[in-house]
């Protein structure tokens, strides 16, 4: 699992910082999460192949999370994209994008599917045999969802040294990897546990931006491998959280601790701060395993 | 008069090139012309003070000319702008911007005035005592206007050495600068031409992007100080001009020559070319005084 931060600052794009966007690579999928202005340039800068992006998840319709989307959709057209593109985001996102395409008389030649979200409860928005993606309802000034990406457990690992002790036809390997016992020709039963090892543990990633401190989401993100949680403010500006619908670094850390996550990445820093390392210092007073998200940083798990 | 090129490449923003946007400073006004994605970052990079921008002119609604507008409008709000902002552009621009502001529940606190354009004929869109701005109808795939910015002639220059030869009260200086003769107390008439010199010549700037080769606009831009004319293609791709509604460097130079402009700036290069100096070489086979526009370049007149 690999997370590439394209941008993780709040409010407006600046000369050296970008608004929210990140790329998650998980179980052979590549997902784009949020798409602030300039995202397509950051994709190029981070050498993410545009053609690999088939699913884009938008948390909410504040500009710093989606003003780059229409440009990316347009660029896909100019690159002669043929694959369908799926966009998941709040109700209204379809109208915003299609109105601008209509005004420029530039309809996409590829299939463009909008999956508009309105539910206040968590719901599955994407699922295949490798990954399941569900929403994490967040408490912000406008309708907003985080997203939980969960690998599905792979097959059990064949222990070939054990398998070769018996005369087992290769056609049974697939069922053994699925957990089946083996019945030999002489009637003996070889338990699956003797022939296989557990699959690699399923990894999971929770993206939570933007949100005020809210413990209701904790059951949804319990035990995830990595939590990205917004931390717009340091403690010195905690009084702004309620009005703006944002969190402090310490609040992000409290959520990480209560949810027993393995890793916490911080981001969505207010542009008023010069030294973002302070966010890590404050968060680590509550939760040890904290990383500072920053534009261009890559995290592997 | 000063032109700052924020971006002048066609199609999509890339790591080191930006879509169309430029700043014109003329007679104490500052005008933003077109606003592709990333314009607000380029304004910062080029140290243009956001608060000085009160008028934005959008040629047409292709994404590379206006996808940065909504972000700039939003950033103005976050910067607590109070001055009115005037946006001039094709019909539909108001709906595109206001829909996105509505979805994010982020109305501007400052007055935002849209001046939607529909006329196929040249029209004056802005005028005060210093500058007059009018449209230049262009031939592109969708409704598109260039813009002509003309300084108004200033006052005549007082020749103090001559004025002091006579006993002229200072209260008459203003009328002398406006061109009036002077009647002395003894009845003598001093002709204005003896007391003043011509004002500095009025400068003018014509922005023409995007357009196919079209001689109809020549009377509108006759004798301008500087013409910015798109040159999307080199001669090798001239066959693409008609279909795409664009021009070659040589076509831009032909317009410059026929309109008898003093200076020509090229831009809106297709991103297929590596060496944009070739645009200058080709244009100079027709018109000598050619400059290559490029992101971050400043031209003074």
ipTM: 0.90
To the nearest whole Å, the CA of B258 is away from the closest chain A CA by 31
Segment A224-249, tens digit of pLDDT: 999 999 999 999 999 999 999 999 99
Contact A37/B99, CB-based, under 8 Å? Answer: no
To the nearest whole Å, the CA of B45 is away from the closest chain A CA by 6
Residue B278 in this model has a pLDDT that exceeds 90: yes
Segment B133-192, tens digit of pLDDT: 999 999 999 999 999 999 998 899 999 999 999 989 999 999 999 999 999 999 999 999
To the nearest whole Å, the CA of A61 is away from the closest chain B CA by 5
Contact A67/B63, CB-based, under 8 Å? Answer: no
In this complex, is the C-beta atom of B14 within 8 Å of any C-beta atom belonging to chain A? yes
Flag whether B86 is marked binding: no
φ/ψ (deg, to 5) at B113 = -110, 125
Q: What pLDDT was estimated at residue A107? A: 87
Residues of chain B in contact with residue A103, where contact means CB-CB under 8 angstroms, are 61, 90, 92-93, 96
Q: What pLDDT was estimated at residue A11? A: 87
SS3 A64: helix
In this complex, is the C-beta atom of A16 within 8 Å of any C-beta atom belonging to chain B? no
**Conformation bin of residue B187: beta by default, left when phi > 0, alpha when psi is -120 to 50:** left
Pairing state between β B157-158 and A263-267: unpaired
Q: Based on the domain organization, do B142 and B169 belong to the same domain?
A: no
Contact A74/B63, CB-based, under 8 Å? Answer: yes
Flag whether B65 is marked binding: yes
Q: Based on the domain organization, do A166 and A43 belong to the same domain?
A: no
Catalytic (active site) residue B34: no
To the nearest whole Å, the CA of B44 is away from the closest chain A CA by 7
Who's near A206: CB < 8 A, 6+ residues apart? A136, A146, A147, A148, A149, A220, A221, A224, A226, A227, A228, A261
Residues of chain B in contact with residue A90, where contact means CB-CB under 8 angstroms, are 103
Q: Based on the domain organization, do A191 and A248 belong to the same domain?
A: no
DSSP code string of B207-243: EE-S----GGGHHHHTT-SEEEEE--B-GGGGGGHHH
In this complex, is the C-beta atom of B11 within 8 Å of any C-beta atom belonging to chain A? yes
Q: What pLDDT was estimated at residue B201? A: 86
Q: Based on the domain organization, do A8 and A77 belong to the same domain?
A: yes
Q: Based on the domain organization, do B115 and B236 belong to the same domain?
A: yes
Q: Based on the domain organization, do A265 and A292 belong to the same domain?
A: yes
Q: Based on the domain organization, do A122 and A243 belong to the same domain?
A: yes
Residue B200 in this model has a pLDDT that exceeds 90: no
Q: Based on the domain organization, do A60 and A23 belong to the same domain?
A: yes
Point out the domain boundary residue: B197, B219, B248.
Answer: B197
Segment A255-301, tens digit of pLDDT: 999 999 999 999 999 999 999 999 999 999 999 999 999 999 999 99
The CATH number assigned to the domain holding B225 equals: 3.60.15.10
Comparing CB atoms, the residue among B44, B68, B141 nearest residue A37 is: B68
Question: Could you report how far apart the first and last alpha carbons of chain B are, in Å?
Answer: 5
Closest residue of chain B to A60, computed from CA coordinates? B104
DSSP code string of B180-197: --EE-TTS-EE-HHHHEE
Average pLDDT, chain B: 96
Residue owning tokens 């009025």: B202
Angle between helices A93-103 and A69-78 (to 10 degrees): 50
What average pLDDT does range A141-151 have in this prediction?
98
Comparing CB atoms, the residue among B11, B41, B104 nearest residue A15 is: B41
Catalytic residue (one of A64, A169, A181, A185): A64
Closest residue of chain B to A93, computed from CA coordinates? B103
Segment B216-247, tens digit of pLDDT: 999 999 999 999 999 999 999 999 999 999 99
Q: d(Cα A228, Cα B131) in Å, to the nearest integer? A: 52
Structural domain boundaries enclosing B270: 2-154+200-300
Q: Based on the domain organization, do A129 and A230 belong to the same domain?
A: yes
Q: Predicted confidence band at B11 (pLDDT cuts at 50, 70, 90)?
A: confident
- In the stretch 20-39 of chain A, residues with CB closer than 8 A to chain B read 37-38
Tokens of B94: 């108001």
Q: d(Cα A222, Cα B128) in Å, to the nearest integer? A: 63
Q: Based on the domain organization, do B27 and B106 belong to the same domain?
A: yes
Flag whether B295 is marked binding: no
Nearest to B219 by CA among B186, B243, B188, B255: B255
Closest residue of chain B to A74, computed from CA coordinates? B63
Residue B102 in this model has a pLDDT that exceeds 90: yes
Q: Based on the domain organization, do A259 and A138 belong to the same domain?
A: yes
Q: Based on the domain organization, do A44 and A166 belong to the same domain?
A: no
Q: A202: exposed, middle or buried (C-beta count within 10 Å: 0-12, 13-18, 19+)?
A: middle
What is the number of domains present in chain A? 2
In this complex, is the C-beta atom of A76 within 8 Å of any C-beta atom belonging to chain B? no
């Amino acid at each position: 699992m690999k997370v590439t931060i394209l941008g993780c600052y709040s409010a407006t794009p600046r000369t050296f910082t970008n608004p929210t966007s990140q790329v998650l690579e998980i179980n052979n999928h590549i997902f784009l999460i949020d798409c602030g202005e300039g995202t397509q340039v950051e994709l190029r800068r981070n050498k993410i192949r545009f053609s690999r992006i088939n699913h884009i998840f938008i948390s909410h319709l504040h500009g710093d999370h989606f003003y780059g989307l229409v440009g990316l959709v347009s660029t896909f057209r100019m690159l002669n994209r043929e694959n369908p593109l799926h966009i998941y985001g709040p109700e209204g996102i379809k109208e915003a994008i299609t109105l601008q395409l209509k005004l420029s008389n530039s309809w996409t030649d590829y299939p463009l599917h909008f999956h508009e979200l309105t539910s206040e409860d968590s719901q599955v928005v994407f699922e295949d045999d490798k990954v399941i993606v569900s929403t994490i309802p967040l408490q912000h000034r406008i309708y907003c969802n985080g997203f939980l990406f969960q690998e599905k457990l792979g097959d059990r690992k064949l222990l070939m040294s054990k398998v070769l002790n018996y005369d087992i036809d290769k056609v049974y390997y697939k069922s053994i990897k699925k957990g089946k016992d083996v019945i030999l020709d002489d009637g003996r039963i070889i338990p699956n546990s003797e022939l296989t090892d557990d699959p690699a543990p399923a990894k999971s990633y929770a993206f939570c931006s933007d949100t005020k401190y809210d413990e209701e989401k904790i059951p949804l993100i319990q035990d995830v491998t990595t939590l990205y949680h917004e931390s717009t403010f340091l403690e010195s500006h905690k009084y702004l959280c309620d009005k703006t619908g944002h969190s402090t670094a310490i609040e992000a850390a409290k959520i990480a601790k209560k949810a027993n996550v393995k890793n916490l990445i911080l981001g969505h820093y207010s542009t008023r701060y010069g030294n973002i390392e302070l966010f890590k210092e404050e968060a680590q007073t509550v939760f040890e395993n904290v990383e500072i998200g920053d534009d261009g940083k890559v995290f592997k798990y």
